[in-house]
């Protein structure tokens, strides 16, 4: 099963992608997590990516596409994968289609997790992320069991630098300009599924599962 998660920053792509990955035993591939791991390890890629991420801008396609193509060529992706946060531009989507076409494959589902901009701003302000294991929580809707501590690995959870309100606004603008056109792109391919992402997490998930049937 080859799935793309579409949606604004904070729509719940990551939250849903992790559950999909578990249910269907396929890898969860998050470009945001890959960049953040590179930043943590102080790699060349991390240094370059951070400059863009801190401003709420997209990392250039040249730094992003090859990384994903290499990842989906790995052995554990043979039965599919769920892409979270990629593609984010039309050229990225075209690069993905072209890479898969070389081995006679194509994407099967693009799930748009739809949430209005007003809700996004609240969600991002309350998001807390574990920089160690990538788990995400929300101070109101999905709290950690112990305040400020990741349930999964016991490290502190923090407000991401790019989740501060001024950066969130910029990311939303970038989303509407550069990423939203992908909805039409995948609709034309006949693989778009839309779910109402403003519902509780469990309901969003069951709607997604129903749309994959
Ligand atoms: P969110 O889950 O809030 O949408 P991500 O973790 O997916 O955020 O991404 C964080 C940041 O990493 C983005 O704002 C962007 O700067 C960068 N990034 C992630 N994926 C991509 C991509 N496919 N293309 C360009 N930049 C990306
Ligand atoms: P994305 O990957 O699209 O940026 P996340 O999955 O990180 O989004 O979710 C953004 C924030 O909203 C997180 O704090 C998460 O815990 C919370 N969240 C996710 N899904 C829901 C939901 N259905 N209802 C309420 N809050 C949610
Ligand atoms: Zn953790």
Residue 60 lies in a domain: yes
Cα of 180 vs centre of ligand 3, distance in Å, is 30
Among 17, 141, 157, residue to substitute to test ligand 2 (most atoms within 8 Å of Cβ): 141
Q: What is the CATH number of the domain that holds 36?
A: 3.40.50.300
Residue 142 lies in a domain: no
Residue 156 lies in a domain: no
Q: State the average pLDDT for the chain.
A: 96
Assess contact for 20 and 193: CB atoms under 8 A: no
Assess contact for 93 and 185: CB atoms under 8 A: yes
Residue 132 lies in a domain: no
User: What's the structural domain count of the chain?
Assistant: 1
In percent, the amount of the chain with pLDDT more than 90 equals: 93
Using the predicted structure, report yes or no on whether residue 122 has a pLDDT greater than 90: no
Residue 147 lies in a domain: no
Residue 155 lies in a domain: no
Residue 198 CB–ligand 2 contact under 6 Å: no
CB-based pocket (< 6 A), ligand 1 = 9-10, 13-14, 31-32, 35, 52-53, 58-59, 64, 85-86, 88, 92, 162, 171
Cα of 188 vs centre of ligand 3, distance in Å, is 39
Using the predicted structure, report yes or no on whether residue 161 has a pLDDT greater than 90: no
Residue 29: strand pairing partners: 83
Assess contact for 120 and 172: CB atoms under 8 A: yes
Measured CA to CA, the distance from residue 119 to residue 77 in angstroms comes to 34
- The active-site residue, picked from 48, 71, 160, 170, is 160
Residue 176 lies in a domain: yes
| Model confidence band, residue 131 (pLDDT cutoffs 50, 70, 90) | confident
Residue 36 lies in a domain: yes
Cα of 75 vs centre of ligand 1, distance in Å, is 25
Beta strands in the chain (DSSP E): 2-6, 28-30, 81-84, 109-114, 127-130, 136-138, 157-158, 192-196
pTM score: 0.96
- Catalytic-residue membership of 13: yes
Domain range for 34: 2-116+166-212
């Amino acid at each position: 099963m080859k799935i793309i998660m579409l949606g604004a920053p904070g729509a719940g792509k990551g939250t849903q992608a992790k559950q999909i990955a578990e249910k269907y035993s396929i890898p969860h591939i998050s470009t945001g997590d890959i960049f953040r791991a590179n930043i943590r390890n102080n790699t060349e890629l991390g240094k370059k990516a951070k400059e863009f991420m801190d401003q709420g801008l997209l990392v250039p396609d040249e730094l992003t596409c090859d990384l994903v193509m290499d990842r989906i060529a790995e052995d554990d992706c043979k039965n599919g994968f769920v892409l979270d946060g990629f593609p984010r531009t039309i050229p990225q989507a075209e690069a993905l289609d072209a890479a898969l076409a070389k081995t006679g494959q194509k994407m099967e589902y693009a799930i748009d997790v739809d949430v209005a901009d007003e809700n996004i701003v609240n969600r991002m302000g309350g998001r807390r992320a574990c920089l160690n294991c990538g788990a995400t929580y929300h101070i109101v809707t999905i709290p950690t069991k112990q305040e400020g501590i990741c349930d999964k690995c016991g490290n502190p959870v923090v407000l991401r630098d790019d989740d501060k309100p001024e950066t969130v606004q910029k990311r939303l603008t970038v989303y509407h300009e550069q990423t939203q056109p992908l909805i039409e792109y995948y609709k034309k391919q006949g693989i778009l599924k839309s779910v109402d992402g403003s519902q509780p997490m469990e309901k969003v998930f069951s709607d997604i599962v129903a749309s994959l049937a």
